[in-house]
Amino acid sequence: MVDLAAVPTDGATHPLSLFMKDTGWPYAPLDDCIRSWDEIYYRPLSKAPAGMRILDIQACFQVAYGSYRRREAMLWQKIDDSNNYAALVHLLTNDTPPQHRGRAATCTRR
């Protein structure tokens, strides 16, 4: 829930941010997919030490019912800029070990 009264509207500048969008098209019910994202993705990610996080999930959206060919949900994630994006650079320049590869059981992601 966003407290719109607390959202700045004065046009003040702020440091630049880098975001990532993750889209899922679940075969399971949409609520199951979103619950899965919470349990196997958001919770472990949010428990990681601040300097070890690569992403901060800002929001989860779903398209309006009937507006798309199939169910769809999206995560809006801010990429952590700690140590000049060191975690992102590491992710992009190193292979992911096989035991850490895979997808959420209830979702198909792009």
Across the beta sheet with 73-79, what order do the strands follow?
19-24, 73-79, 55-62
* pLDDT for residue 105: 47
* pLDDT for residue 107: 58
Q: How confident is the prediction for the chain on average, in pLDDT?
A: 82
pTM over 0.85: no
Residue from 20, 94, 77, 82 nearest 49 by CA: 82
At 18, the pLDDT band (50, 70, 90 cuts) reads very high
108 has a pLDDT exceeding 60: no
* pLDDT for residue 93: 94
